[in-house]
Amino acid sequence: MHRRKFIKQVGIGFVALQFLPTLGLAQSRKDNKAYSSLPLVRIDVVKGERSDKELAELADVIQEVLVKTFNAPPKDRYQIIHEHKKGLIKTLDTGLGYPRTNKIVILQITQQGRTRTQKQAMYEAMGKSLEKIGVPQTDLIISVSENTLEDGFLGLNKA
């Protein structure tokens, strides 16, 4: 994409992107797979099973793991915590041989360009890190989906 056209399309967003070369990153996420765009994380839990403080800690740990394993920008934090009434999250045993509890945490992570190795590292780190704050690995489900730069809108950018 021509640089002038790129500046016009993203408007104010270019201010941040123009400094990326000094960090060893390309000017465009699209042009450089080393640039790690922010993930959007939906966190589904059972209502009433965690205090506000516990939910905040859960969200903080998730962000820390994504910064480490997905090379996510530390200040780009997009998380949606959704609490469901008891009985509305259905996580039946599908032959795994372990029970689920009302402490279940389901993460839906939408991201761009992470490798299989990065995803596997994230799964392992997420399981271990959340276990330290009381989420048994048997109560953790993670789904990662991929989108493209064109599939998101962050406000002032033009679609």
Task: Confirm whether 39 is a catalytic residue.
Answer: yes
Q: Which two tokens stand for residue 18?
A: 């123009």
For CA atoms 124, 130, 135, 140, the dihedral sign is: negative
Taking only the tens place, the pLDDT of each residue in 95-134 is: 888 889 999 999 999 998 899 999 999 999 999 999 999 9
Catalytic option among 39, 73, 74, 99: 39
Which residue stretches of the chain have pLDDT < 70?
1-36, 157-159
What DSSP state is assigned to residue 83? E
Who's near 48: CB < 8 A, 6+ residues apart?
83, 86
- For residue 134, the model assigns a pLDDT of 96
- For residue 157, the model assigns a pLDDT of 64
Cα separation, 91 vs 116, in Å, equals 25
Cα separation, 145 vs 61, in Å, equals 20
* Closest to 69 measured CA to CA, from 123, 105, 146: 123
